[in-house]
Amino acid sequence: MLFAHGFGCDQGMWRFVEPSFRADYRTVLFDHVGAGQADLACYDPVRYSSLGQYADDVLDICRELALDQPVFVGHSVSAMIGMLAAIRAPQLFARLVLICPSPCYIDDGDYVGGFSRDDIAGLIDFLDDNFVAWSGAMAPAIMGNAERPELGRELESSFCRTDPTAARQFARVTFLSDNRRELDLLRTPSLILQASDDAIAPPAVGRYLHQALRGSTLVQLAARGHCPNLSAPQETVAAIRDYLR
So which residues are the catalytic ones?
Answer: 76, 198, 226
Classify burial at 22, counting beta carbons within 10 Å of its beta carbon; exposed 0-12, middle 13-18, buried 19 or more: exposed
Distance (Å) of CA 216 to CA 83, 105, 113, 207, 227 = 12, 20, 19, 11, 21
Distance (Å) of CA 92 to CA 53, 66, 120, 202, 215 = 17, 10, 34, 30, 17
Residue 192 and residue 219: Cα distance in Å, rounded? 6
The string of DSSP letters for 137-171 reads HHHHHHH--TT-HHHHHHHHHHHHHS-HHHHHHHH
